[in-house]
Amino acid sequence: MSETWIHVPVMAPQIADFLLTNPNGIYLDGTLGLGGHAKFFLSRLGKEARILGFDKDQEALKIAQERVHDGRLTVFHASYTQAPDELKKLGILGVDGALFDLGLSSYQLDNPARGFSILRDGPLDMRFDTGNPLNAEVIVNTWPLSELERILKDYGEERNFNKIALAIMQARRQAPITTTGQLVRIVEGVYGSKRGKIHPATQTFQALRIACNGELEAVAEVLASLGDVIKPGGRAAVLTFHSLEDRLVKNRFKELAHGGEWLLVNKHAIAASFEEIRQNRRARSAKLRVIERVKL
């Protein structure tokens, strides 16, 4: 199972250069995923270092533990928003560095059973935590037109939000929409032959994923609690993959830096290199922002 998916952590060397300031420090991996970043970090860290890995996806946690296979990694089946509470339980006043990788893992995206894939048919799920009662099927089949329009517009930045929402309403009156393939065909029907460079259903899938996982709320929550996670001299790195998340990070980091207790390590977002994008297309939309806590 653990070797089924090839997992290439995005911008791992650059993040390590910024984040790993103490070779024997304590670090937090806010979205452990398949453990790619954690494994790379541990290869650069000392014997006394520790990484605390958080993820809502229990299956991904199991794979990460198998792949990393290092006693310096401790995993938590929890959202990164719960990190402050978990640190308190452990008696840790703050970590030396924290990474919040807000992208999907290869495992989640490529496994059709998880419902994230546009290209491979599967159940209309899209949950990070399979214990979450709200999935994409519930949203698509039960939410009113106004709410469908709202999430498609606000979370998907979909220009045809009203047409797609109406097409979903019309389709579900005929029969429940239960698979990703059904939803893809509905969106393709709205776009017809007018196709851009990305698949026409990309933004619809993004909107549903964000809605059922409460992603933007989680990002805002963790950004508000950075002072409870990072110790003075420590750094936080956030890797985003779409403009909604990056905007939240950019604005929050500016607020923190303006207060004088934090310092922007990079004033502008850092993108992946051309060579990395050539080897790993999922890096093409990545943006990295890093901030350092300089005072209590």
Same domain? For 93 and 138 the reply is no
d(C-alpha 283, C-alpha 287), whole Å: 9
Indicate whether 101 and 18 sit together in one domain.
Answer: yes
For 114, other C-beta atoms within 10 Å of its C-beta total 23
Q: What percent of the chain is predicted at pLDDT more than 90?
A: 83
pLDDT 10s digits, 146-200: 999 999 999 999 999 999 999 999 999 999 999 999 999 999 999 987 777 789 9
What's the predicted TM-score (pTM) here? 0.90
Among 215, 247, 268, which residue terminates a domain? 215
Specify if 5 maps to a domain.
no
Based on the domain organization, do 221 and 211 belong to the same domain? Answer: no
Cα 293 from Cα 256, distance rounded (Å) = 9
- By CB atoms closer than 10 A (0-12, 13-18, 19+), residue 113 is exposed
Q: Check residue 60 and give its pLDDT.
A: 86
Q: What is the pLDDT of residue 115?
A: 94
Same domain, 91 and 225: yes
For the segment 238-259, what is each residue's pLDDT rounded down to a tens digit?
999 999 999 999 999 999 999 9
Is the dihedral angle over the CA atoms 156, 9, 93, 289 positive or is it negative? negative
So what's the pLDDT on residue 7?
64
Angle between helices 161-174 and 145-154 (to 10 degrees): 140
CA dist 24 and 16 (Å) reads 14
Q: Are residues 140 and 192 in the same domain?
A: yes
Q: In this structure, are 179 and 250 located in the same domain?
A: no
- 78-135: per-residue pLDDT in tens? 999 999 999 999 999 999 999 999 977 667 777 889 999 998 999 999 999 888 999 9
Of 179, 194, 215, the one marking the end of a domain is 215
Distance between CA 228 and CA 293 in Å, rounded?
Answer: 11
3-state secondary structure of 149: helix
Cα 235 to Cα 93, 224, 258, 274: the distances in Å are: 14, 15, 16, 26
Same domain, 80 and 118: no
User: Which CATH number characterizes residue 82's domain?
Assistant: 3.40.50.150
pLDDT at 215 over 80: yes
**143-147, 159-163, 283-287 — which is least confidently predicted?**
283-287
- Assess whether 90 and 79 both reside in one domain: yes
**Does residue 7 lie within any of the structural domains?**
no
Mean pLDDT of the residues in the chain: 93
- CATH number of the domain encompassing residue 137: 1.10.150.170
* Confidence band of 4 (pLDDT split at 50, 70, 90): very low
Could you tell me the residue range of the domain that residue 126 belongs to? 111-215
Please check whether residue 289 lies inside any domain of the structure.
yes
